[in-house]
Amino acid sequence: PEHVKKAFIAIEDERFYKHHGIDFIGILRALYYDIKAGRIVQGGSTITQQLAKLLFLKPERSISRKIKEAALSLQIEKKYTKEEILGLYLNQAFFGTNAYGIEAAAHTYFGKSTEELSIAEAALLAALPRAPSYYSPFKHPEKALKRRNLVLKKMLQLGYISDIEYEEALREPLPERPHRRRYKAPYFIELLRENLEDRYNQGLYTDGLRIYSTLDMHYQAVAEEAVKKGIEQLEKRVKPGVQAALIAIELETGKVVAMVGGTDFWQTQFNRATQALRQPGSAFKPIVYLTAIQNDIIPEDTIEDREVGYPMPDKKDEVWTPRNYEKIYNGEVTLLQALSHSLNAATVCLADTIGIKRIIKTAKYIGLNTPVHPYLSSAIGASETTLYDLALAYITIATGYRTKPLLINEVVNREEISLEQHYPETIKVLDPAVVDTIRFMLRDVILNGTGRKAKQLNRTVYGKTGTTNDYTDAWFMGFDDQLVVGVWVGRDDHTP
């Protein structure tokens, strides 16, 4: 809108449409006021010079930089129209509160788009680039008000607004708190931002970078809708406050194509897909059976499914007795039956036979980065992990290859130069025959075991359910020939 442009021109560069990049009259006027005040009270830089500084120069104070700034400003004026220069400046300027560019600033300070800004709101935004923190309405409202009103006064003096508009604008209050701008796939975007900020610092926001992520918006929309519907159905049966997380990763590439870190990012930014350490319960069991297969035990071999007490390493006189969910014990069962029906007693018996240290070793080299504690209870998922980590371990189970996760395909700067490119990185860690065997077992979980509900998908999927005591956590880890998908449901306070 015209009043937005004029607010910036009034306070930053009132001769903007008259000069060719450098305003000699403005420089002399600024010099006069600076000498009169005995300190720097006015800047002599035009909007074009400020754009040159934002786009091309480091924030240093030196004569050589000023010369470069002036030369660049003349070049910019030759190449672009005044409207293009003003647009570029408004889209690059920093407004404080992590807002870069006029549109982000409008959303951050007023929760609206640039098109909807009032004269007073435009004046406040025009007041900020000179010193965003100093003039912040959230930190220093008195200084912000004084500076905004100065912008309004300049607009009046230059004939940009009428006396009535000026008086009305003066009466408008300042914003009291920032508005969080809503965007799609917020949990993924926040993870991406943290990842990139480590490398680019503030340049992430100011250097005009284009980031090509691995996210697939179709998968993301489906994932968000699935979580939304699932929680709505669940909360008809239980008290509200249940959270959920979902992650989907390409098997072949490790590209994260969908991520949901909770039911509402705008209420809580805690990412339950990557940050929440939870007990995976039976979703960990495939790692136990994978270890057995690697040690020449086959699915048809038998183990004991009985109530057995195992000595506790740190409590010599006590025993720990793993119990099956239904408190029914089946005696001698095959490994295939034990995994399909998620028999805790049989799984711990197997872990005791092959040794927990071997299971820990397997977990590490298939890519589970969170520690597995050296106790038999870890065999049935007592050691906490994240959904993200477990999904990566399931990629290895599904393919035999440990795969590095990818969030970014490429980062390109404003000159179209590629700053970084990422390609799949995989290491073969499992024999194909071992992979075929564990896939066969996980397929049986779907066909005949605890994952029977997944048969509704009418496609070949493999997977494992997982629950912890009192249904504190519920998991499903599954894959087909393209994606691994992990889902977790529970409460943040670990209550059922």
- 237-290 pLDDT, tens per residue? 999 999 999 999 999 999 999 999 999 999 999 999 999 999 999 999 999 999
Pair (392, 279) in one structural domain: yes
Token pair, residue 471, equals 């249904």
Which residues, at least 6 apart from 235, have a Cβ–Cβ distance to it below 8 Å?
Answer: 242
Determine the number of helices (DSSP H) and then strands (DSSP E) in the chain: 18, 14
Where is the domain boundary, 136, 171, 206? Answer: 171
Let me know if residue 179 belongs to a domain: no
Model confidence at 40: pLDDT above 50: no
How many Å apart are CA 284 and CA 368, to the nearest integer? Answer: 10
- Structural domain total, the chain: 2
Pair (136, 262) in one structural domain: no
Question: How large is the average pLDDT for residues 13-38?
Answer: 68
- The three-state secondary structure class of 479 is strand
Percent over 90 (pLDDT), the chain: 76
As annotated, the active-site residues are: 12, 282
**Please, are residues 160 and 4 in contact by the beta-carbon 8 Å criterion?**
no
How many Å apart are CA 17 and CA 354, to the nearest integer? Answer: 80
Model confidence at 22: pLDDT above 90: no
How many whole angstroms from its chain centre is CA 222? 18
How is 130-172 classified by DSSP, letter by letter?
TSTTTT-TTT-HHHHHHHHHHHHHHHHHTTSS-HHHHHHHHHS
Pair (276, 394) in one structural domain: yes
Q: Supply the CATH number for residue 332's domain.
A: 3.40.710.10
How many Å apart are CA 17 and CA 343, to the nearest integer? Answer: 78
Question: How large is the average pLDDT for residues 318-339?
Answer: 95
Q: How confident is the model at residue 191 (pLDDT cuts 50, 70, 90)?
A: very high
Where is the domain boundary, 140, 171, 202? Answer: 171
Question: How large is the average pLDDT for residues 336-354?
Answer: 98
Let me know if residue 406 belongs to a domain: yes
**Please, are residues 127 and 151 in contact by the beta-carbon 8 Å criterion?**
yes
22 versus 425: which is more confidently predicted? 425
Residue whose structure tokens are 């992520």 = 213
Pair (423, 299) in one structural domain: yes
Q: Supply the CATH number for residue 75's domain.
A: 1.10.3810.10
Model confidence at 88: pLDDT above 60: yes
Let me know if residue 290 belongs to a domain: yes
CA 86, 89, 94, 98 torsion-angle sign? positive
Question: Which residue in 435, 405, 389, 368 sits closest to 250, CA to CA?
Answer: 405
**Please, are residues 367 and 395 in contact by the beta-carbon 8 Å criterion?**
yes
Model confidence at 407: pLDDT above 90: yes
Q: Where are the beta strands (DSSP E) in 49-174?
A: none
Token pair, residue 103, equals 């549109």
Pair (134, 267) in one structural domain: no
Where is the domain boundary, 149, 171, 193? Answer: 171
Token pair, residue 201, equals 């610092």
Number of residues that this document lists for the chain: 496
The overall average pLDDT reported for the chain is 92
Q: How confident is the model at residue 20 (pLDDT cuts 50, 70, 90)?
A: confident
Model confidence at 41: pLDDT above 60: no
Question: Which residue in 383, 357, 377 sits closest to 312, CA to CA?
Answer: 377
* Residue range of the domain that includes 345: 256-490
Pair (20, 117) in one structural domain: yes
Token pair, residue 208, equals 């005009």
Report the predicted TM-score, pTM, of the whole model to 2 decimal places: 0.82
